[in-house]
Amino acid sequence: MKHQSIYFVAIVSLFLILSCQPKTGEVLVQPDFGQGPPTIVYKTTGNYLNLLAVTYSESLNQITQFPAPSDIKTDENSSSPIVLTDGYLLDKLGIGPESVFTSYTHTEYAGLEEAPHPDSLLKRIIHKKPFIEMYNCGNRFHFENPEKQINALIEAGELSKRCKKLIP
Where are the chain's structural domains?
38-167
More confident residue, 20 or 131: 131
pLDDT (tens digit per residue) in 31-50: 666 787 899 999 999 999 99
Q: Is 79 exposed, middle or buried (0-12, 13-18, 19+ CB in 10 A)?
A: buried
Q: Please give the model's pTM, rounded to 2 decimal places.
A: 0.78
Instruction: With a cut of 90, say whether residue 102 has pLDDT above it.
Output: yes
DSSP letter (8 states) at residue 34: S
Buried b (16+ CB within 10 A) or exposed e, 25-48: eeebbebeeeeeebbbbbbbeeeb
Question: Quick one: how far is CA 59 from the chain centroid?
Answer: 24
Tell me how far the alpha carbon of residue 33 is from its chain's centroid.
14
User: Bigger pLDDT: 24 or 109?
Assistant: 109
Task: Say what percent of the chain tops pLDDT 70.
Answer: 82
SS3 135: strand
